[in-house]
Structure 1
Amino acid sequence: MVRERRASGLTALARIGFSDLGAADAAIAELAELVAVERETLLADAVRAADPDEALGGLLRIARRAPEHAAGVLSDARGRLVAWRLLGASRGLGDFYLRRPASFAAVPALGDRLPSAEELRRELLDAVGAGDGFASDADETAWVALRVAYREQLARIAAYDLLSRDPVSAVKDVAAALADAAGAALEASLAVARARVVRGVPGAGLFPRAEVEQTLLSVIGMGKAGARELNYVSDVDVIFVGGVAGGAGIEESRALEIAHRLAVQTMRGISETEVEPPLWEVDPNLRPEGKQGALVRSLASHLAYYDRWAHTWEFQALLKARPLAGDAALGEAYVSGTQPKVWESAGRENFVDSVQRMRERVTDNIPAVDVPFQLKLGPGGIRDVEFTVQLIQLVHGVSDASIRVRGTLDAIDALVAEGYIGRQDAAAFARDYRVLRLLEHRLQLAGLSRTHLMPRDEDGVRVLARASGLADTASGLVEQWEAVKREVRDIHVRLFYRPLLSAVAALPEEQRSLTADEAHARLAATGFRDPGGALRHIRALTTGLSRKATIQRHLMPVMLRWFADGVDPDQGLLSYRRISERLGESPWFLRMLRDSSGAAEGLTKLLSGSRYIGDLMEWIPESVAWLDSVEQQRPRTGAVLQAEARAIQDRHGDLEEAMAAVRALRRREMLRTAMGAVLGAITIEELGSALTTITEVTIQATLRAVRREVVPPEDDSLDFAIIGMGRFGGAELGFGSDADVLYVYRPEQVEPSRAHELASRIVAEVRRVSEDMRLPLDLDAELRPEGRSGPLVRSLDAYAEYYRRWSLSWEAQALLRARGIAGSSKLIADFMALADEIRYPAALDLAATREIKRIKARVENERMPQRIDRTRHLKLGPGGLSDVEWLVQLLQLEHGRSDAALRTTSTLDGLEAARAAGLVADGDAQLLAESWRLAARLRSANTLASGKTSDLLPTERRALDGIGRILEYPAHSATEVEEDWLRTARRARRVFDRLFYGEA
């Protein structure tokens, strides 16, 4: 029978929600005995605890330490209810009551209502004995009394929150009470600070009471504290303003010195470690000049700073500023003086970047593993709601004072009242925000610690579900949270972008249509530099009753957001309009953008991030279809391209027609490769190989078409070949690279003068028909013998005679990258045998070595453009492509005859061979390879972003950011891109100088 009763009791505990049934059974028995309350009575309200095990453990620990206080609470029906709810949701409060069991006695009176701001202020000031602005005590006991009193009031707020029938609706009032409690704590701590500086407590200074009374100090609340939407445990951002009471005889400099001491002591009272733990961090770093600036400034000094030196983000930070503690009149004067500047700042040129940086500043250091659990900063989180609402306020608040409110929920109400957002969207957004904040509150209340991460284990999520009242199970809560995140992201689009359509297309909307000026301002706020032009493009795309216009209206809001996230939204939208017009009524185009999971976003990324791609896509609009398949974004193989090129030759007997088809093939494949590079479908090594293959196939097809046109059947025995040189020979082309070549022929049975004539005509025609105004292909023959002074084409015998009799060291060096590209395979083999004799000499004499080093130095000085920063030249600058290539080539000249692995046209393969042979140390080889790869990537990314070829790393921040985006840096990484290159190149140059010139 006893066993049956015990089993029945354990089953009842399981139904309540206890996990460790045996321990819970023993603990409840001990607790019942300690407080003299029946077991069943004690357990009646346990089912309402978020974590019954935690609550029971906390109650038992308190009862063991102070049975009389525990008995007083648990013998009271209201006391039991509040105790189970408080300790089941907050082990932090359980620990507090264990430290301060006398405070536990007040639990039965908690939870019926929230304390007012005045009550909170009075309770905390009374705790430190402050009736006239000075605390009665100046030692650490005053701080302890303050913290105990604050936590008692925190428990009062938490009890109301946890007992609320609708905790979602209660979020706004609870957050306001928490902000009021923070203000009261600062007020009380300031009273203690005044007592400390008057009594000369060590570290506080010593000032006459009369001077302290004449000193004004106002504590301005920023962020959530200023907006009265604070969390349970959050940094409280503040700004300190000092001054002198009217008519006082104390000088301002003296008052500011005292105010500084008061501010320091006020923060210590809240945050410094004492017997009673700190409350939260007081953060004054939003002040002018941040950590480097004065902690306390006068009002005039603050206003002068904001007028002359402040960054735009600093004005946005002032949006929620509110006097929190200290002198109220001085605080109101500060707010009155700064608020107009907040709304003027929205018209600044760098408004968008600064707001985005302010938004992203707090997310930069979030580990990637935490992002899926981020309640605040992750996609669809609290920050998304706040940023959206704040940005709409800043855009339209310039001319509409009615929406200049601090709180997020109050702002949503104001935006609805003035017609900036629809009621349905606003209601959903506000509820989602409350749900997210409720979860945040419960997470922080649990341990009285600052956190925004959802639990990663099922038990933790289950406790959170019970604590919030949002779901009965862990899976139910996760499902609801995921739904909220999706809706927040969707509403962001609807609130900010969709109203633009009503402004330009006269679409029926439940909400008020934006005026042209408002739409203009909204586009400008998201980053469009030509809002008028953007509006015209939107109008052209969405106006009308056709199915195409209807689908565009559905697509445009989200695409506008993606364009705005890009580097050049204006260029992206313009290119999108042109592509849409080129495709006309093509049914697949808009259907794919609407239905494909990533096509529309990929298209906006390409068009707003790469002018090179945008220009080509306008001519090849059908390429948009490739966005629906990653495989179609990868380069096609050389065999596939060769087959297509030969089919062109079979199809087109006319030279001009054949070359038009070849140029189209090249443009298409260059575009495909560019898209793959920007969307991350190919690596830098694959990029160089793909671009080389495309160029090879193009030249081969061109040569076949030209030879058929130029060489008559009777002279068909003429051998002709094209040799790749430089990066083309090394299969290391980038976007914008020239194709360095040599032209060689062999008469065979053709009369020599006739052979030379035909070879010259072939070269002339190849150069002519390969020209492409849309996508230039520069066949550069400057690496031929005698350079620009030498003939464009020579016979194999002429090359042999020249190289053996007159060639210079640089010409032997140039041959290191020679590789057959097109034409007679037998002639190519013979030319490569000749090249091997020259480029891999039995020995490289000292004079030749000196000559190579001299030429390298001369190239750096003479070919470097004037009046540029040499460190930014990716090819010829220190640590650039040229440094690595010349070093590898010198080693090949010196050791290529004896080491077959060095006989490669690839720079990186040659560097690896040199490392394997012990000619370059492992660490040195790594630094050189990193610099070469980064220079190559930056060079190609620059061409893709700008549509222009340049060897210079740009200085303009937007251009650098565009390059960074293509290379998969985060947004706004211009400085990081620049610093990465300069650091990498600097290290590589040190290695180059040591190995090439022999410098220590």
Structure 2
Amino acid sequence: MTVPRIETTAGRLARLGFADAARAGRLLAELGPHAADDAGLLGDLVAVADPDLALTSLTRLAERDPGVLAALRNDPGLRGRLLGVFGVSAALAEHVVRHPGHWKALSGPSAVHPQAKDEPRDDLLRAVGADPRAAEPRAAADDTETLSALRVAYRRRLLCLAARDITGLVPLTEVTAELSDLAGAALEAALAIARAGAGEAADQVRLAVIGMGKCGARELNYISDVDVVFVAEPRDGVPEDEALRVATRLAQGTMRACGVSTPEGALWEVDAGLRPEGRAGPLVRTLASHLAYYRRWAKTWEFQALLKARAVAGDPALGAEYTVAVGELVWQAAARPGFVEDVQAMRRRVEAHIRADEQGRQLKLGPGGLRDIEFAVQLLQLVHGRHDPLLRRRATLTALTALSRGGYVGRDDARALAEAYAFLRQVEHLLQLHRLRRTHVVPEDPAALRRIGRALGMTTDPVGEFTARWKRHAMEARRLHEKLFYRPLLQAVARLPGEEARLSAAAAKARLEALGYADPQGALRHIAALTDGVSRRAAIQRTLLPVMLGWFADAPDPDAGLLGFRQVSDKLGTTPWYLRLLRDETAVAARMARLLGTSRYVTGLLLHAPDAVAMLGADAELSPRPAGALAAEAAAAVARHDDAESAVIAARALRRKELFRTAVADLVGVRDIEQVGMALSELNDVTIAAALSAAVGKVAADLGGGLPTRFAVIAMGRLGGFESSYASDADVMFVHEPLPGAAEKDATDAAFAVANELRRLLAAPAPDPPLHIDPDLRPEGRQGPLVRSLASYAAYYARWSAPWEAQALLRARFSAGDEGLGERFTALVDPLRYPRGGVPAAALREIRRLKARMEAERLPRGADPALHTKLGPGGLADVEWVAQLIQLGHAHKVPGLRTTRTLDALRAAVDAGLLAPGDAETLTHAWRFASRVRDAIMLVKGRAADSIPAGLRERVLISRALGYPPDASEDMLDDYRRATRRARRVVERVFYGDGA
């Protein structure tokens, strides 16, 4: 026989959902002998978000007012509302315990009906002893008792609203509207307290309080800073400065009345930081002063903030006048130059300041958070609201509805975005209600997550269900944030079947203009060409473009990016892997958009080697390939062709692909300027070697046998220093050495033929950046023979060498051809470039004279010396000549100085005690900066230039390529000038003084 198991009270309470069942049993016993068996009480307790929290708070209240238990038994509605609040908000429960009479506000018909609009204002004014019917009410006194009375009355009304909210009697929009009206009422009561403190002086001025942000839009949180702006006008006969002094005192008093701590705590901070000039500007201005500032000085973000401006307290006529006047300015903001760039930069700054430990838990600022939704809606409003007055709404959800009805956002997208926004706001409210503290961070504590999930109606697995739903909404919000700006553009030009929202051509053009496209009509043509038709290619492009248009808009030159994308797609659009790669690999598509919108040089390379798109998927693909591997590939390419022209075309195609790899790695920041210079120089070496092999083969074939001489290419200049830029010529010298038994003339003629053929092959027209061979650093310059034998070089240098030639030879190294001959050449010139006695006084004077002459004569006419990266003060030549002068003077006894590289020479000079570390750091920084700028000019413009452009637009593009924010081109210029100015001071002291 089985004995039935008798369930204990604790066991039953645990089964019902109490986390601490034993404690719950004790608390129920304290409520009375029948409480544990009260089905109604237990049923409502276990239905709330946190039964343990609700029971604890109820027990404390019953100790203060035992009558509450009878009232709860007799009024199920009261019981549900009170316990609902107690199960969510420990702070409001604390308030009710401290003011036990306030629970009665949750009983009766008034507890379930919405409040009349003026009811909160009248209630709070009466609480501070002010007459609600007065034109400008004044409190009975400005003291702690009055301030406490305001807080008590405010929280009583907050309690009633929270009860209706938690029990589902009011929708989110009504909750936020009532919270905003309650904040306005508190500001009105606070102003009445301030007027009481100011006495008769308050009559000298009219003051209006303008709600901004969520307060202005009637979408306020339970706990939030309340953003305001104060506007004032003097009464008749009162001087303006006197009136503004009084108004400032009233504004300060209003802020203090809300924010100061009392025995009843504080309400919230009143934040006037959105006023003109922010916290640096006067707290109060006249209407004329506000308008003058906005018309002349206001930034884009200020107009975005004014979108939500609404009079909430004080003089209603003045407040209305203010909102009408600024409203006229707000809707013209999108026409301002750089409008969208400013808005996007502001969003990036907000995201950048999220704490790392909160990144994935931020409801407001993180990806897919509330700010993403608000940002998207506000931008669309400002772009299209100029022409469509129906979009001029303050609140996010009503504006989103208007955007959907107007066809600017598809209905399904609008619905999904509204659902995400409502969910995130509900979670935000539940977080804030718990302690009545301002927070937007989802907690990690499972108990807190359980409380939130249960408050949202999730009972089976509150933590898991809530987390999954939150992440889903956040992902959807982020996706729609990316899409919302762009999808209707496709609908306007491609007329996609089944789409609901249709933008007119004018609206699509306006949106593209606002996004930063300088030629919106051209952009629409590109979009139409890419998406037209029913092909698989068009279908995939319709999927890709909505997001890619945004990535292009984030790039320095959106028009160039979209045009480049169309051109590359035209070349590769039917290639199966190309569209599949972009569709499936987001990182590739994003990187491609950024590169096409940044660099005409990269775009040009990609157009002629479109399959290089495949290397954009991972940083590992951008690592420099070893010179040996490149040389082997180039040699194999040459060997596959019988004629020299085809062989060199193949080698140049390899160079084009590797130039693309290097340029991409440079722009995305995975190679620094020294690594870029090394990669470009090694690539040039490989290309010269391949072309030389082809040239030697052709000349040998023409001669009917082998070549009668050894031949080597000596790298000079930036090539010799492994410091080539994208625009660098290949500075070289040609040396040959007749084979034993060969006639001198035959050997020389063959060497000349090889050198000329090499130059011809590399200069032949081809769809890739040219590699110009420049032999002008040879003895006697252009007047001297193109090729010399090793013996001829030895004779010349022994008898005729000038100081500048010894200096130029500091960069000499073997590049291509016969390696043994190259080594013999460098051994030949070592005594010349590393002289044992250092630099003679006469040679030193000559070097300094040449440098001064170069500075005076070689700058292009009209160029700003301070912006010339090569010849300007503190530029590349300045730094290089300092390093070379130290090398000439000391390399004979300091082996580390026997290098062809500028920065390596500076490092060796520091190690040898020849240059102060600080000076070397200054010179290095300037050299690196100038080199980066010079490369960026080539990357951005697709053509070489040594001067930073004077035009603002080009300068912005270059600064963006260097990693500066969109609005920081002047910062780039200042940084460059500062770096080169400091370097020039070192040059004056070390090169022209005694430092060398």
Answer whether TM exceeds 0.5 for this pair: yes
User: Contact between 2:708 and 2:747, CA under 8 Å: does it hold in 1?
Assistant: no
Distance between the aligned counterparts of 1:445 and 1:855, measured in 2? Answer: 77
Alignment of structure 1 residues 503-902 onto 2, 5 Å:
503-628=492-617, 630-680=619-669, 682-711=671-700, 712=703, 716-748=707-739, 749-771=741-763, 774-788=768-782, 790-845=784-839, 847=841, 848-849=843-844, 851-853=846-848, 855-865=850-860, 867-902=862-897
SS state at 1:652 partner: coil
Structure 2: runs of 5 or more not aligned? none
User: Contact between 2:708 and 2:746, CA under 8 Å: does it hold in 1?
Assistant: no
Residue of structure 2 in register with 1:325 after alignment: 313
Query: By how many angstroms is 1:991 displaced?
Result: 5.3
Alignment of structure 1 residues 90-239 onto 2, 5 Å:
90-94=89-93, 96=95, 112-131=112-131, 132=134, 133-164=137-168, 170-198=171-199, 209=200, 212-239=202-229
SS state at 1:242 partner: strand
Which stretch has the larger CA shift, 36-45 or 183-192? 36-45
User: Contact between 1:73 and 1:105, CA under 8 Å: does it hold in 2?
Assistant: no
Q: Which residue identity does 1:768 align to in structure 2?
A: R
Query: By how many angstroms is 1:355 displaced?
Result: 2.8
Query: By how many angstroms is 1:333 displaced?
Result: 1.2
Distance between the aligned counterparts of 1:126 and 1:529, measured in 2? Answer: 58
Distance between the aligned counterparts of 2:982 and 2:434, measured in 1? Answer: 50
Residue of structure 2 in register with 1:202 after alignment: none
Distance between the aligned counterparts of 1:264 and 1:37, measured in 2? Answer: 55
User: Contact between 1:224 and 1:230, CA under 8 Å: does it hold in 2?
Assistant: yes
Q: Which residue identity does 1:671 align to in structure 2?
A: F
Residue of structure 2 in register with 1:29 after alignment: 26
| CA shift in 2, pair 1:911/1:287, >3 Å | same
Residue of structure 2 in register with 1:382 after alignment: 370
Query: By how many angstroms is 1:698 displaced?
Result: 0.6
SS state at 2:597 partner: helix
Q: Does 1:243 align with 2:233?
A: yes
Distance between the aligned counterparts of 2:909 and 2:52, measured in 1? Answer: 67
Query: By how many angstroms is 1:432 displaced?
Result: 1.0
| CA shift in 2, pair 1:6/1:994, >3 Å | farther
Distance between the aligned counterparts of 1:889 and 1:74, measured in 2? Answer: 97
SS state at 2:313 partner: strand
User: Contact between 1:111 and 1:163, CA under 8 Å: does it hold in 2?
Assistant: no
User: Contact between 2:202 and 2:250, CA under 8 Å: does it hold in 1?
Assistant: no
Query: By how many angstroms is 1:683 displaced?
Result: 4.7
- Which residue of 381, 388, 392 maps to 2:380? 392
SS state at 1:219 partner: strand
Distance between the aligned counterparts of 2:982 and 2:153, measured in 1? Answer: 59
Q: Does 1:431 align with 2:419?
A: yes
SS state at 1:939 partner: helix
SS state at 1:653 partner: coil
Distance between the aligned counterparts of 1:84 and 1:997, measured in 2? Answer: 85
Which stretch has the larger CA shift, 219-228 or 104-113? 104-113
1:945-979 deviation per Cα after TM superposition (whole angstroms, max 9, x unaligned): 22222333446555455445545555555455445
Distance between the aligned counterparts of 1:881 and 1:172, measured in 2? Answer: 63
Query: By how many angstroms is 1:841 displaced?
Result: 2.4
User: Contact between 1:502 and 1:509, CA under 8 Å: does it hold in 2?
Assistant: no
Distance between the aligned counterparts of 2:853 and 2:8, measured in 1? Answer: 94
Distance between the aligned counterparts of 1:107 and 1:855, measured in 2? Answer: 93
User: Contact between 2:730 and 2:774, CA under 8 Å: does it hold in 1?
Assistant: yes
Give the structure-2-normalised TM-score.
0.90
Query: By how many angstroms is 1:529 displaced?
Result: 0.9
SS state at 1:555 partner: helix
1:737-757 deviation per Cα after TM superposition (whole angstroms, max 9, x unaligned): 332222222234444444444
Distance between the aligned counterparts of 2:115 and 2:620, measured in 1? Answer: 63
Residue of structure 2 in register with 1:204 after alignment: none
SS state at 1:325 partner: strand
User: Contact between 2:212 and 2:305, CA under 8 Å: does it hold in 1?
Assistant: yes
User: Contact between 1:312 and 1:354, CA under 8 Å: does it hold in 2?
Assistant: yes
Give the structure-1-normalised TM-score.
0.89
Query: By how many angstroms is 1:410 displaced?
Result: 0.6
Query: By how many angstroms is 1:190 displaced?
Result: 0.8
User: Contact between 1:36 and 1:71, CA under 8 Å: does it hold in 2?
Assistant: no
Query: By how many angstroms is 1:595 displaced?
Result: 2.6
SS state at 2:332 partner: helix
Query: By how many angstroms is 1:330 displaced?
Result: 1.1
Q: Which residue identity does 2:141 align to in structure 1?
A: D
User: Contact between 1:138 and 1:192, CA under 8 Å: does it hold in 2?
Assistant: yes
Distance between the aligned counterparts of 1:104 and 1:5, measured in 2? Answer: 41
Distance between the aligned counterparts of 1:926 and 1:885, measured in 2? Answer: 14
User: Contact between 1:135 and 1:195, CA under 8 Å: does it hold in 2?
Assistant: yes
| CA shift in 2, pair 1:96/1:777, >3 Å | farther
Q: CA RMSD in A?
A: 3.4
Alignment of structure 1 residues 951-990 onto 2, 5 Å:
951-954=946-949, 958-963=953-958, 965-968=960-963, 972-985=967-980, 988=983
Residue of structure 2 in register with 1:940 after alignment: 935
Distance between the aligned counterparts of 1:809 and 1:99, measured in 2? Answer: 93
- Which residue of 315, 319, 322 maps to 1:334? 322
| CA shift in 2, pair 1:470/1:678, >3 Å | farther
SS state at 1:232 partner: coil
Distance between the aligned counterparts of 1:733 and 1:53, measured in 2? Answer: 72
Distance between the aligned counterparts of 1:454 and 1:921, measured in 2? Answer: 53
| CA shift in 2, pair 1:484/1:746, >3 Å | same
User: Contact between 2:712 and 2:822, CA under 8 Å: does it hold in 1?
Assistant: yes
Residue of structure 1 in register with 2:442 after alignment: 454
Which stretch has the larger CA shift, 530-539 or 479-488? 479-488
Residue of structure 1 in register with 2:454 after alignment: 466
User: Contact between 1:147 and 1:276, CA under 8 Å: does it hold in 2?
Assistant: yes
1:485-509 deviation per Cα after TM superposition (whole angstroms, max 9, x unaligned): 2222333355432222222123324
Q: Does 1:949 align with 2:944?
A: yes
SS state at 1:129 partner: coil
Distance between the aligned counterparts of 2:830 and 2:447, measured in 1? Answer: 71
% same residue:
48
SS state at 2:118 partner: helix
User: Contact between 2:677 and 2:725, CA under 8 Å: does it hold in 1?
Assistant: yes
Distance between the aligned counterparts of 2:28 and 2:921, measured in 1? Answer: 67
1:123-164 deviation per Cα after TM superposition (whole angstroms, max 9, x unaligned): 211121111311110234323322332233223222222222
Q: Does 1:86 align with 2:85?
A: yes
Which stretch has the larger CA shift, 660-669 or 868-877? 868-877
Distance between the aligned counterparts of 1:955 and 1:266, measured in 2? Answer: 50
User: Contact between 1:942 and 1:950, CA under 8 Å: does it hold in 2?
Assistant: yes
Distance between the aligned counterparts of 1:610 and 1:480, measured in 2? Answer: 41
User: Contact between 1:888 and 1:911, CA under 8 Å: does it hold in 2?
Assistant: yes
User: Contact between 1:73 and 1:79, CA under 8 Å: does it hold in 2?
Assistant: no
Q: Which residue identity does 1:943 align to in structure 2?
A: M
Distance between the aligned counterparts of 2:992 and 2:34, measured in 1? Answer: 90
User: Contact between 1:146 and 1:188, CA under 8 Å: does it hold in 2?
Assistant: yes
1:163-199 deviation per Cα after TM superposition (whole angstroms, max 9, x unaligned): 227xxx822111111111111111111111111111x
Query: By how many angstroms is 1:54 displaced?
Result: 5.2
Distance between the aligned counterparts of 1:13 and 1:885, measured in 2? Answer: 83
